Amino acid sequence: MSEVKGAIKVIESTQTFDSGFQKREFVITTNETYPQYIKLEFVKDKCAILDKYKVGDSVTVSYNLRGNEYNGKYYVNLQAWRIEAGEQAAQPKQGKDELPDFDEPPF
């Protein structure tokens, strides 16, 4: 199992193939010095998981690395199996515990 954190950049529509197989691809942008654009996919009944997310959401995605061969060519996919909302930035605390902002000391 591997996991990657980032913000959703693209969410594609679900693709359905003649065999009945379904997949839904999405891209997340990592938050690093040199951001990476990582394309992952949900397959079969997990495609609907993305319905509650939107572009810009911060997420953590768990995925498995999948590889296959077709007609002498090799393919690699990152098959997601879980996505969770990421941590939101801490909001400044407001309310009665907040000290007044003085331009000068009170003495």
Q: What are phi and psi of 73, to 5 degrees?
A: -110, 150
Q: Which of 11-15, 42-46, 74-78, 93-97 has the lowest mean pLDDT?
A: 93-97
The set of residues, in sequence order, having a beta carbon less than 8 Å from that of 23 and lying 6+ positions away, is: 14, 15, 41, 42, 43, 44, 47
Tens digits of residue pLDDT in 51-90:
999 999 999 999 999 999 999 999 999 999 999 998 754 4
pTM: 0.76
Domain-wise residue ranges, the chain? 2-85
Beta-bridge partners for 27: 10, 39
User: Would you identify the CATH topology of the domain 2-85?
Assistant: OB fold (Dihydrolipoamide Acetyltransferase, E2P) (2.40.50)
